[in-house]
Structure formats: structure tokens, C-alpha cells
Structure 1
Amino acid sequence: MGKWGSVCDDEWDMREATVICRQLGYERPYRVTHSSMFGPARSRYWMDNLYCTGDEKNLSTCRFDGWGANDCTSSEAAGVVCSSPEITTTEEPRTTPKPPKKEPLLRIKDATRHKMSVRIAGGRVPEEGRVEVKFGDSAWGLVCGDGWSIFEAMVVCRQLGFGYANDAIQTDFFGGNASSMVLSGVQCHGNEEFLSHCLHDKIGQISCPGKRENIAGVVCSSVMADLVIDHLEIMRTAHLEDRQLYFLQCAMEENCLASGAYRLQSDNSVNWHLETRRLLRFTARILNAGTADFRPMIPKHLWEFHQCHMHYHSMEVFATFDVMDSKGVRVAEGHKASFCLEDNQCMPGVTPFYACANFGDQGISVNCSDIYRHNIDCQWVDISELSPGMYTFKVSINPEFKVAEMTYDNNAAVCSLYYTESFAHIFNCSVQRP
């Protein structure tokens, strides 16, 4: 290969960050970043969907989709902030040094006496373009695209009366290279009424590498799909199943098992398929309660055919399943690659449109539901290494929007999980909404 390339932030978390920091000679990761926080990828992606245990010495020994295989845009570059030991010449440090304290961020409106105005400029239609702001009577200026995500785009579109954010962009496609950068480090929760209510770097202190290509932009839409998970169905159908790896080989190809399964395969090349994995299975019923059909972002001619399961993948990941301990640390995870999005069940008066058979169109119509039943491959979490106890179980649908170390929490069900090693009970589920 011989050329530098980026790593996509799909499946990027502290385990992958631990490996890269160790590989580069640093002590440990302080945080992971998503959404091209340190600037958009300016070359090709070499790695996507990395799965590390955290014990690897080199990032290339982790599982991933293959060199150069990806479906990522320039705004999906992974990043990391590593901690380095504070070594002095007088004495060895007795304790692990704490990460440097960061100054608390302020809301934009609290850091300036002038009212901030927002507009979109340079687009082909009024609902798209680069984001520009001005304070009082000053000139219009740009917003840095570092860390610019769907959260911030949602606030801009809502404030300007354009409805929903369809995309958050880091690009100079909409022009603005001759304008000044006046705001950087914008961080929103997504529910603010105005962009001025969001956090930001200090006024006048602009940090924006690669300015020419790192301009915040948005694409707004008056209609939007809204996927809602049926949390009652999760509680009703959740159960345990012990299954031999021999019957899970197709699922292994899609990275649907925990890292322990792949270690078994590596350590025992003869009898690994006789080992058993414990799966927490459940059904996911997803209703489109929005005002527009939900469609895969990847065009149909780029869908990937999976020979083992004999189906097309229209999306990289349609759902993620996380088990977290009392400290919020993820201790088990799963994901559902979207091999089939279709109208399995529709409300009265609605005619199903999407069907996967015979390479049909995939999607979810308004007021229709797509159902992933508990007996389908990958509709589970591999909890073989999980210790008995109380946990939090979270199912996120279409979790493609990420910022910093958090995921976009809309369209998610959060539940309590009680696991006794022979019994699993999911209860107290609630649906998170914006």
C-alpha cells in the first residue's frame, strides 16, 4: 500500500483506542473521538468496522472488513486522545498521572454580549449550504467542521425553520474559502432551540486544522423518517440460547460474536466448532413513525451480496446491542447488519411496499414495521464471558450518528438486565426520544 489512510469510526471505541495508543508508545487512551473531530479524512479509508479485544499489540491484528473495504464518508474519521506518563528527572511517579483538566466549556450566548445570528449559504436550494454566524453587527463568518455532527445540524435546521437535519457535512463544497472562521468546537445535545445555546471553544480562539476543507455545512429536510423500537417486544421475547460454533459460522463471518469466539477459533483450529456460545436473543420490531420512508443510504448497485447467508447487505449496521455495567462500561455488544429491510407489518390502510425477495427494494414505509425475529442470525448479544449480575441493556436503531464518545440516543430502548448464568430477565425498558 505505502500510503497513509484513515480509520472509519464505525464500531470505534475504547478497545480500539487502547491498541492504537499502546502501538504508538503512549500509556493509555484518555478518550475516543468520532465524526472527524480532528478534521475530515483527506485520503482513502484503509480500515472499517474494527473489532479489537484491547490486548492486541498492533491495530492490524484486530478484525476488520479488509484493507480498503469501507462505506464511510470524509466526516466519519476515527480519532483518539492518548495519555502519556508524566516522567520527571527527580523521582518516579508513584501514582498514575491524571489527565490534564479541561476548562469548562461555556454556552455561546454566555461568552458574548452580542446576539448571534445564523444562516445557511452557498447551497443549491435554501435548505442546504455552509453554516455562517455573526455576532451583533460584525461580518458573517464560518463555523469549523471539526466534530460537527448531526447534533449541531439538528439545531441549525430547527432554528432556521427547515425542519430536520438530513446530513451534517464537513466540506468546502458550498464555498466559503475566502471567509473568516469565527467559531470552533461547537457541541450541542441536539435539543437546543438555538445554536447559541450550545457549548463552544473560547470566542476568538479558533482551532480548525485544514480550514479549506473543514467548513461546517448542513442539509435540511422538511420530512424525515423516525424509527421507533418496540421495547415491550424486547421484554416479551428475550431468552438465552446455548449454541455450538458449528452452527454460527455464517454469523462469525459478519462479526456477530464476541471476541472470545474468534480466540477459540484461533487457539484450537481442529475442534473450535464444537465449543458452545451463550446468546441473549430477542425480537426487534421497528416502526417508522416519521413523515418519510426510511431507505438505506447506500445505492442499490453498491449493496454487498453475502454468499454465506445468501442475501444483500443494504446497510453496514442497522442496529447495535450493548450490555453495560453499573459504571456505564460496555461489557458485551452485538450488532445487526441490515440484510433485509422490508414492510413486515403495516397499520390498517397502509399497503406494504418494500420487500427483499428477488433483489427487491429495501426500506420501511411510513406507518409500517420491519421485524427482526429472535431466531434470525445476529439478532442477539454474545454474553458467553459475562459474569452474573445486574446490567443495563440498550438497543439503538440506525446508530450512524456519533459525536465524541457518545452515540445518538434517539430511537433507542434502554432496559435493565438481570443475568444469573442460567436465566436472563430484561425489564424496566424505556424508549429514548429526542
Structure 2
Amino acid sequence: MSTHMQSSTVNSTCGPESSCTCLAGFWNYRNQECRPEVVLGGGCLYQGDCSSHNPVTVCEEGLCSCPSVTVDNTTYRLAGGPDVCSEGRVELRAAGAAAGWHHVCDDFWETEDATVLCRSLGFSVGTAVCCSLFGFAGTGALYAMDDVACLGAEPSLMACAHLSQHNCDDTEVAAVRCA
């Protein structure tokens, strides 16, 4: 990437006439600064910190993450999966819910449930993934749903039958692979 940065040469190489190019792993912020590219899950300040490395990711709440999608007053996202934004543990935040992202317990988590969630995120189908494959919820995690029982045609995960009370520990996080 060629730039003509005037004020900073940190993380760049400069040629004659003050023409500078950001080093590999950095991006040009406002033609003034070479900022580091940030991987999924890393801390960010600007959208470019994430999207310069992977155009699918966004800087949301100070972390590079997959874009969240809001359906029927509930915001959904995937986290922790190796295939950026198409697989991971299920996280959600309902309007008016306690601060932070909540999890879905993997009790009875099946293909119909995964497909409803994946359709909400813009994919066609989903596969349920077992046993916290994409990371644990963490000590003291908040769970929004347990015993999810989708039929497959629901518009969103919250429209599926489920329990709001749970009996889950931090290793029982529902996850999906979307396609």
C-alpha cells in the first residue's frame, strides 16, 4: 500500500520526497499513521484495525468481532470459531437484558436450532456443534436460553421454545457451523 504520510514514519518505510509505505501487518490511518492490523478477538479503536486484516470483521465494543445481527429485539453473534464469522459459540443480547453478551446452553441443541440461528445471521443452514468446541462461556457466565427446541421455521432463536432459567455450567455453550 503506497501512502504519502507527512507526520509519521513509524511502522513504515519511506523513500525520497517523504513518500512512505506501511509495513506488512499495518494499515494507513488518515494518511498520518500506520496502525497495526488486529485479528479476530483482538482489541481495536477503529474499524480499519479489523477490516484491513479481514473485511468481514468489525470493531464492536473495542474488540474485532463478527458483525452482530439484530432480529426481533435480540442481537446475535458468533464468537471463538476458527472460520471467521460462520462458526462459533452462540452469543446473544436481548433488548433490556443485563449488560454483556449471554450464552445459549447446549442442552438438547440440535440441527433445527442451529439452522434457525444461522438463517438469522444470513446463512442457509446450520449444524449444531457439541461440547463447547469454540470456547467456554467463562466463570459466572450469563445464559439467556436453555433447552432450545426449534421446529426449524422460526424467524429467530428467541421465537423457539426454550427455558429462560438454566442448569448449565461454563462448559455447556451451544455452538454452530453455518453455511
TM value normalised by structure 1:
0.23
* 1:147 partner SS: coil
Matched, 1:206 2:166: yes
Q: Is the 8 A contact 1:170 1:213 kept in 2?
A: no
Alignment partner, residue 105 of structure 2: 144
Against the structure 1 CA distance between its residues 173 and 217, is the aligned structure 2 distance closer, same or farther, given a 3 Å change threshold? same
Write out per-residue CA displacement over residues 58-112 of structure 1, whole angstroms, 9 at most, x where no aligned residue: xxxxxxxxxxxxxxxxxxxxxxxxxxxxxxxxxxxxxxxxxxxxxxxxxxxxxxx
Matched, 1:115 2:77: no
Alignment partner, residue 192 of structure 1: 154
Deviation of 1:170 (Å) = 2.4
Which is bigger in relative contact order (C-alpha 8 A, separation at least 6)?
2
Write out per-residue CA displacement over residues 290-327 of structure 1, whole angstroms, 9 at most, x where no aligned residue: xxxxxxxxxxxxxxxxxxxxxxxxxxxxxxxxxxxxxx
Deviation of 1:190 (Å) = 0.7
Match of 2:173 among 205, 209, 215: 215
Q: Is the 8 A contact 1:154 1:190 kept in 2?
A: yes
Identity %: 36
Separation in 2 of the partners of 1:182 and 1:136? 12
Match of 1:155 among 97, 102, 116: 116
Q: Which runs of 5+ in 1 are unaligned?
A: 1-113, 222-434
Alignment partner, residue 134 of structure 1: 93
For the pair shown, the structure with the greater C-alpha radius of gyration is 1
Separation in 2 of the partners of 1:176 and 1:119? 15
Q: Which runs of 5+ in 2 are unaligned?
A: 1-71
Separation in 2 of the partners of 1:175 and 1:140? 14
Alignment partner, residue 393 of structure 1: none
Match of 1:182 among 129, 144, 148: 144
The list of structure 1 runs, each at least 4 consecutive aligned residues, that deviate by more than 4 angstroms after superposition, is none
Separation in 2 of the partners of 1:170 and 1:118? 19
* 2:89 partner SS: strand
Alignment partner, residue 5 of structure 2: none
Match of 1:168 among 128, 147, 150: 128
* 1:177 partner SS: coil
Q: Across the two proteins, how many residue pairs are aligned to each other?
A: 103
Deviation of 1:213 (Å) = 3.0
Q: Is the 8 A contact 2:115 2:125 kept in 1?
A: yes
Deviation of 1:187 (Å) = 0.9
Q: Is the 8 A contact 1:168 1:217 kept in 2?
A: yes
Deviation of 1:117 (Å) = 1.7
- The alignment's C-alpha RMSD in Å is 1.7
* 2:109 partner SS: coil
Deviation of 1:192 (Å) = 1.1
* 1:157 partner SS: helix
Write out per-residue CA displacement over residues 172-194 of structure 1, whole angstroms, 9 at most, x where no aligned residue: 22123313222111110011121
Write out per-residue CA displacement over residues 217-259 of structure 1, whole angstroms, 9 at most, x where no aligned residue: 00011xxxxxxxxxxxxxxxxxxxxxxxxxxxxxxxxxxxxxx
What amino acid maps onto 1:133 in structure 2?
L
* 1:186 partner SS: strand
Separation in 2 of the partners of 1:182 and 1:196? 9
